[in-house]
Structure formats: C-alpha cells, structure tokens
Amino acid sequence: MSLCIRPNCPNPQNPDNILFCLACGSELLLEGRYRVASILGGGGFGKTFAVSDARSNTTKVLKVLINEHPKAVELFQREAEVLARLNHPGIPNVDTDGYFTFFPHSSQEPLHCLVMEKIEGLDLEKYLRQRGDRPIDQKMAVQWLTEIVTILQKVHEQNFFHRDIKPPNIMLRADGRLALIDFGTARAVTGTYVAKQAIGQVTGVISAGYTPSEQINGQAVQQSDFFALGRTFVYLLTGKDPSHFYDPINDVLSWRDHATHISPQFADLLDQMMARLVSQRPQNAEVILQSLANINQSSQLGSTPTQPTAVPRVPPTQPVTHQPPVSSQIAPNFGASPLVAQVSSSPGNKTNVALIIGLGCFLPFVGLFLLIGAIALPSFLNQANKAKQSEAKTYIGSMNRAQQAYFLENNKFSSTIAELQLGIKSETQNYSYSVNVINPKQSVRLTAKAKVSGLKSYTGAVFVQNAKEFLTIAGTCETTAPSQTPPNMPELVKGAIQCPAGSQSLAR
C-alpha cells in the first residue's frame, strides 16, 4: 500500500505500484525515492509516517508539517539543521538532502518534509507502561542516565540544547541502547538567541511536569535540559508522573519516599539536576557524568542503598507513685500565731487556704492570657487566611503554566482542569476552581472563587501574544479586598496583562 500525504485527500490509500494518488492526483513517490507505507502518529502541527527508501532499501521516518505558521516552519527547519549537524548513534541520522518541500496536486502551499533514520523500539513512556508502570532499578537508571547525558554532552558541545526532554522523547532500541529524538524545539546558543532572550522574545517551549520555570518564561539554557532529565528519571524510578509528587503550596517535589530502592547519593544527584535555580544545578554534562561514575564505583565496591534505620520501640516505663522524703513533710509550727495555728490545725481550712492562694496566683495569669489572646487573635486569623490564599495563588499559577504548555502542544487552550493533568481538584475546602476558554486560539480565564468570607479571590489569564511566534503571556489578578467574586477577565495591553478595577496584579 502507498499512502498519499495530502492533508485533505478523500482516500489516501493506494496500490504500491502507481505513481499518483487515485483520489487526488498527488505524487506518491516523494523526491523520486520515498514511498509512504503507514502512518505512525500525528499531532496539532504535523504527522509522522513510515516510508521505504528505494535507494537504500531501508525503512525511514517521514515527518510532515501541516501547520503553516512561520514559527512552526522555523522549528521544523531547525530540527533538520540540528540533526544534520549532530552525528551520534544516540541521535536519529538525517542525510544532507533529508529536508525538502512537497506540493500536493493543485496546491499553492508546500508541505515541509523531513526524512530521518527510523529508531526501532519503544519510547520510555510506552516502555514503562508495558512493564505495568513498575519502576526501573538503580543499576539500569545509572546506565540509562549515563547514556542520555553523554548524548546531551554532544548536543551541548555543538552549542545546542534540546528544550523538550521527557519520556516520550527517549527511545529504547531493541538492542538496549537509548536514543534522544524530537529535536524540533532545539535551540542554538548564539548571540542572537541571547539578545532575544534578554528582551523576552524567545518562544517558551513547555511540557507540563518536565519544564523548569526559567524555560516557561522564555529563558531556557543548557541546564534546563538537566532539570527535564531529572524529572524524567523521577518518572522512571517511581512509575508515576512527576506532577503526582508536586506540592504546589510549598513548591516541593516529594518523590524520594517513593524510590527507596535507590541510594541517597543517586537521589541527591537527581535533586541537584532538578534544583529550582539554574546556578544550583550541575553546570555541564561532565559534572553529571563524574557523579554517575562515583555512584557506579560505590555500587561495584558493594555499597547498597541505605534503608531507613528502624528506631527500636522502647516500652513505656511503669508509673511510680512519688513519696516525698521525710525531710519534706510538714513540721510542727511552734512559733505560729493563734490564727495561723488554728488554720493549720484544720484539714478543711488548709484546703480552703490553698485554694484561695492558688486562685490568687492563677487569676492574674488568666487575665494576661486573655489580653495576649485578644491582641494576637486578629494576627493569627490573618496568617491563617494568607495560608489559605496561598493555595489559590499557587493553583492558579500552575494552571496558567499548564495552559501555556497545552496550547503549545495542541494549538488551542484546554477547557477543563482535568486535561491539564495537574491533579488539582475543582473544589477544595476554601476555593472553587474553574476554566473559561474565551477563545480556544486566543485567550483563557482561570478562576479561584473563595468559599468563605475573609478570603480574596483570583483570576488567572493566558493570552496568545503572537500567533506567528506561538508566544503566550500569563498573569494572575487578586481582589484588593476579601471577596467571593473573582476579578473579571484582565486585558492584554501592549504586551502586559492589565488587571480590572478592584483587583491587582500578583506580578507587582
């Protein structure tokens, strides 16, 4: 069978011994050598096919761009450039003539095509699913991480960085070797890039759960690849998406308790790779490779991952009845006044005196406690409300970033919280969360509506700032006073989000 790649072909399936599509008349033998055999996948920007190369008699991969945005074309051409320059067994090979344009029958717009080596195997996301989401062990993880970092070292040495490392973009070949794929978002570190980065004109490439904050803001660097790679191995070592362990309130990824089969040394390395600040991450691939060599050496010397030491449970001691020593017992008062002697000689009176004295001592403390409470209570309630509001701020911020990622991957905004895959519930004890798509390709509103009085409400917004560049801008507005009504949709004015009356921007 020979497939026609024209996007709107009514019947793309054809016999494999003809040159033109029977349904639309488009050529079937591309560049005089490639015949499309089957479709491998597709997304918002293009499709991927398996093709047979008549010259080499091999099966290759054909990527076809079906999105005409100039930025999409630029990213596509960049992938061809990067792959042609990088010669490494862990990177798909592309011939110098692997990139070409194809005009379907009666079409004035070309399809941009890229033919590359077909990496046989499974991507790591599918691989883990085939294992029933069973985590890999440390030996395999160290070996795999060493392989991928070695590939990244080659990429970084050529002044490129990948920008989209995640399990689906790492292939496991049938022989056990790994390959890094999908270089469509790779960037060259050039003077032009640095200049654009400084003024915020760099496209933010986002994959939810794997992209560091600096990349979300269009400030990606080579160390951004290390962050994404660390998150990838959290997935491989736990069998769960990193977002499952993310605490948005405290901005912490609590994953280590779910990977107790690895050594603290290895876990520390992954945490360093995923550090919030770029300066706290390993500065180059060589640093990571050296750490991995040390971990590997420790394993060969017989070191095993330390398990938490169980603290022995000490049985509670038996209560002991206290007997005061003889010297502490009350002695006769020979020099007491008649009144004191009378009171002292009566057990009931002794009790009353003790009660009076006790109350006299205790009541001032009660008054002081009530006074302090009256002063501190408003401050305490204010702090409690701030903690509750922190949830809303964090959730709206996370939803903003996830919508940016969703738009980049799907060329539209998501209409549901569930699609964002953040694990955020639409209803919590203090807030109701919702998504309102104003225009699937232009803007989306996200709200946090306070359920109780005393709390502020919030509105997040994401706008498409430049459709040609796929640039999005996000922001959050907070009511200036406690309110159970979220702010109205803000406006995008000269590239900045302007909050409506009665609210203020959290970016102040």
385: left (phi over 0), alpha (psi -120 to 50) or beta: alpha
Structure-block tokens of residue 438: 């104003």
State the amino acid at position 123 in one-letter form.
D
Q: In what order do the strands lie in the sheet with 29-30?
A: 29-30, 34-42, 46-53, 58-65, 111-117, 99-102
Q: Are 307 and 260 in contact (CB under 8 A)?
A: yes
Q: CA dist 449 to 21, 393, 395, 398, 491, Å?
A: 56, 11, 12, 16, 20
Is 461 in a helix, a strand, or coil? Answer: strand
Instruction: Please state the φ and ψ torsions of residue 48, each to the nearest 5 degrees.
Output: -120, 135
Backbone angles phi, psi at 451, to 5 degrees: -95, -20
Beta-bridge partner residues of 59: 52
| CA separation for the pair 281, 270 (Å, rounded) | 10
Residues in the chain: 508
Residue whose structure tokens are 């003024």: 199
Residue with tokens 């029933």: 132
CA 110 – CA 425 distance, rounded (Å): 44
The C-alpha atoms of residue 453 and residue 39 are separated, in whole angstroms, by 56
Both tokens assigned to 204: 């933010």
Give, as one character, the DSSP assignment of residue 110.
Answer: P
* Spatial CA neighbour of 256 closest among 276, 233, 279, 222: 233
d(CA 421, CA 402): 8
Nearest C-alpha neighbor of 242 from the set 224, 255, 227: 255
Asked if 257 is an active-site residue, the reply is no
- Report how far residue 408's alpha carbon sits from residue 411's, in angstroms, rounded to the nearest whole number: 6
From 164, 182, 225, 241, active-site residue: 164
Longest distance between any two alpha carbons in the chain, whole Å: 129
Is the Cβ–Cβ distance between 313 and 302 less than 8 Å?
no
The residue ranges of DSSP E strands in 190-316, in sequence order, are 246-247, 252-253
Residues belonging to the active site: 164
